[in-house]
Amino acid sequence: MAVGIIGYGAHLPRRRIKVEEIAKVWGADAPSYKKGLELREKSVPALDEDTITLSVEATRNALARAGIDAKDIGAVYVGSESHPYAVKPSGVTVAEAIGATPDCHCADFEFACKAGSEGMFVAYGLVKAGLIKYGLGIGADTSQGAPGDALEYSAAAGAAAFIMGADDDRMIATIDDSYSFMTDTPDFWRREHQFYPSHGGRFTGEPAYFRTVTGAIKGMLEKSSMKPGDFKYVIFHQPNGKFPKRAGKQLGFNFEQIDVGRLVPTLGNTYSGASPLGLTAVLDVAEPGDRVLMCSYGSGAGSDAFVLTVKDRVREVRDLAPKTRWMLDENVTYLEYGEYAKLRRKIRLAAH
Amino acid sequence: MPPARSWRAYPQVYRLEAARCKKCGKVSFPPRLVCNKCGEREFDRFNMKRTGKVVTHTIIRTPSDEFSGEAPFAVGVVEMDGGGRLTTQIADVSFDELKIGLPVQMEFRRLYTEGDAGVIHYGHKAVPIRQ
């Protein structure tokens, strides 16, 4: 039984802030940040947007493409490191809003930036096991970087939703195989009650991101008996513009394979949404028969890799919801740092 | 607002669930027990389309405390495609483009929060359709 994606959707906030605007507040050198991170601007959520609202909108776009009744969704999994509540699930609000309740299983996942692919993996696994008809996996974040920290230039917001199913006539892309690579690597963390995360600086690179991502992709290629040249597109987790390019080069992928799903230069790092959003951008342009490799990365650390094959239905459904690159490039508003600081609740307000 | 009160309205605020009169077809949002056009008591429940047009609008510059950080913001009445009207905030809009007849879609958003420790109230706001 072939199991895969029968519906996909993205949602991005409309606001952006440029690297120059952040750098001038902290006396930093914008050109060196832009060059070092290969990142020009990032998305910023409005005061009324959070992981739940972005997840609902991404899911509505996925439902528009799937053409199914939300009542048939048997599982709703939201992966995020910015769930709005410390205790109260995000998944139930999403399920309630789309009309999937009460006959479904909900859970929230957390694994730094890997939580989205976890939701996808579990939803896919449950469909494959025959326990549910359709499963929804979402990666969404409204991530925070401490003011003046390197992360502030990249921490962004966005969501991607995937409905997994086994209906041949609805199949957009089959998931042919998957492989995960996990170790205990303390490169990035946030303790309870801390507002901003901490990270290990350069330790987040070679021993963390690159070791894990290359480990997962090498394992995936070996398990599926495939090589880099077999894929039309490869999507990496993208904390900045450089990391996915360098990982791709190390593994033998060329820039054309990487660039379609590399949204980070104008989106920023959407954490749990990052590689899932890259996959939505690839499905927006992929042709039937194309092979796609996606590899997430979450600090702590781990990667989930998937091999997908795009099916004919992608041509019928891709125009049924807004495309990811359109949301990224059009209909955007630029903020000054003061507005951004207010929207990201970095300004201390008087108590009411 | 107590959590129980907002919870009772989830079908309307989360899914825009309305009622269509079985006799005359008038759409009520929120649903009524008796049709205010023909007096019928039987209705079909349905989720309204999430697209529509602004019927009227205003700008709120002095809001209640829950919305103080958001002012000024637009509020309007939206006529949904396929029937039904609702009063809603209009978000992500410049006040210059706000006009009667503006095509909008309803997006899921935070409506307000009960301080730092209370529940977060979710629902819909209208945003201009730009595609």
**Mean pLDDT, residues B58-77:** 94
Position A352 confidence tier, pLDDT thresholds 50, 70, 90: low
Q: What whole-number distance in Å separates Cα of residue A291 and Cα of residue A309?
A: 5
For residues B63 and B114, membership in a common domain is answered with: yes
Share of chain A above pLDDT 70, in %: 100
In sequence order, what are the beta bridge partners of A159? A11, A140
Distance CA A52, CA A61 (A): 14
Mean pLDDT of chain A: 96
Banded model confidence at residue B69, pLDDT cuts 50, 70, 90: confident
B64 and B23 in a common domain = no
pLDDT tens column, A61-103: 999 999 999 999 999 999 999 999 999 999 999 999 999 999 9
* DSSP 8-state secondary structure symbol assigned to residue B86: E
The one-character DSSP state at B67 is: G
pLDDT at A349 over 90: no
Q: Do B10 and A326 touch (CB under 8 A)?
A: no
> Could you tell me which of A62, A209, A52 has the C-alpha nearest to residue A140?
A52
CB A95 within 8 A of CB A76: yes
Decide if A67 contacts A294 (C-beta within 8 A).
no
Q: Considering B16, B31, B47, which residue would you say is the last residue of a domain?
A: B47
Query: For B14, which of A49, A50, A96 is closest by C-beta distance?
Result: A96
Both B69 and B97 in one domain: the answer is: yes
Contacts of B69 in chain A (CB under 8 A): 47, 342, 349
B92 touches chain A (CB under 8 A): yes
- The reported pLDDT for the residue numbered A309 is 98
Q: From edge to edge, which strands make up the β-sheet containing A173-185?
A: A105-109, A73-79, A134-142, A157-165, A4-11, A173-185, A300-310, A291-295, A233-236
- On chain B, the residues whose CB falls within 8 A of the CB of A345 are none
> Do B55 and B16 fall into the same domain?
no
Token readout for B52 is 């529509």
Confidence at residue B115, expressed as pLDDT on a 0 to 100 scale: 86
Tens digit of pLDDT for each residue in B11-31?
Answer: 999 999 999 999 999 999 999
Contacts of A49 in chain B (CB under 8 A): 109-110
User: Looking at the structure, do residues B69 and B129 belong to the same domain, yes or no?
Assistant: yes
List the CATH number of the domain containing B65: 2.40.50.840
A352 at B interface, C-beta within 8 A:
yes
For B5, residues 6+ apart whose C-beta sits below 8 A from its C-beta are none
B119, B122, B130, best to mutate vs chain A, most A CBs in 10 Å:
B122
Per residue in A116-127, pLDDT (tens digit) is: 999 999 999 999
Q: What's the mean pLDDT when you consider all of chain B?
A: 95
Q: What's the CA gap between A171 and B64, in Å, rounded? A: 49
- Indicate yes or no: CB of A47 within 8 angstroms of CB of B131: no
Are both B125 and B94 inside the same structural domain?
Answer: yes
List, for residues A201-230, the tens digit of each pLDDT value: 889 999 999 999 999 999 999 999 999 999
Residue A255 confidence (pLDDT): 97
Judged by a CB distance cut-off of 8 A, whether residue B130 touches chain A is yes
Say how far apart CA B84 and CA A25 lie, in whole Å: 47
Q: Do B122 and A331 touch (CB under 8 A)?
A: no
CA geometry: angle A339, A331, A340, nearest 5 deg? 10
- ipTM, 2 decimals? 0.97
Same domain, B43 and B60: no
What is residue A1's predicted lDDT score, i.e. its pLDDT? 83
Sheet with B17-21, edge to edge strand ranges: B27-28, B17-21, B43-47
Residues of CATH 3.40.47.10 domain(s) within chain A?
4-172+318-351, 173-310
Name the domain count of chain B: 2
Place of tokens 């469909």: A127
Q: In 3D, which of B124, B128, B129 has the Cα closest to residue B48?
A: B124
Angle at alpha carbon of residue B48, lines to B16 and A71, rounded to 5°: 75
Q: What is the pLDDT of residue A32?
A: 96
* Mean pLDDT for the stretch of residues A285-290: 98
Are residues B65 and B18 part of one domain? no
Task: Give the model confidence (pLDDT) of A137-151 as tens digits.
Answer: 999 999 989 999 999
A193 catalytically annotated: no
Query: So what CATH class is A173-310?
Result: alpha beta
Which pLDDT score is estimated for B116?
Answer: 86
Q: Do A49 and B109 touch (CB under 8 A)?
A: yes
Taking the CA of residue A338 and the nearest CA in chain B, the distance in Å comes to 13
Q: How far is B31 from chain A (nearest CA, A)?
A: 18
Mean pLDDT in residue range B56-75: 94
B77 and B102 assigned to the same domain: yes
Q: Does B97 touch chain A (CB under 8 A)?
A: no
Find the mean pLDDT for residues A234-251. 97
Set A106, A152, A237, A295: catalytic member? A237
Instruction: Tell me the residue range of the domain where B38 lies.
Output: 1-47
- Given a contact cutoff of 8 angstroms between Cβ atoms, the answer to whether B60 and B54 are in contact is no
Could B122 and A53 be called an inter-chain contact, meaning their C-beta atoms sit closer than 8 Å? yes
How far lies A75's CA from each of A51, A95, B38, in Å?
18, 9, 42
**What's the confidence (pLDDT) of residue B66?**
87
Instruction: Indicate whether B21 and B65 sit together in one domain.
Output: no
Tell whether B15 is within 8 A of chain A (Cβ): yes
- A101-110, A185-194, A274-283, B43-52: range with lowest mean pLDDT: A185-194
Q: Are A234 and A253 in contact (CB under 8 A)?
A: yes
Tokens representing A129 are 């096991």
Q: Which chain B residues are Cβ-neighbours of A85 within 8 angstroms?
A: 120
Verify whether residue A81 is a known catalytic residue. yes
Protein fold of A4-172+318-351? Peroxisomal Thiolase; Chain A, domain 1 (3.40.47)
B81 with B102, same domain? yes
To test the contact with chain B by mutation, choose from A11, A14, A48 the residue with the greatest count of B C-beta atoms within 10 A, namely A48
Average pLDDT on A319-344 reads 96
Same domain, B28 and B89: no
> B16 CA to chain A: closest CA distance, Å?
9
- pLDDT at residue A112 tops 70: yes
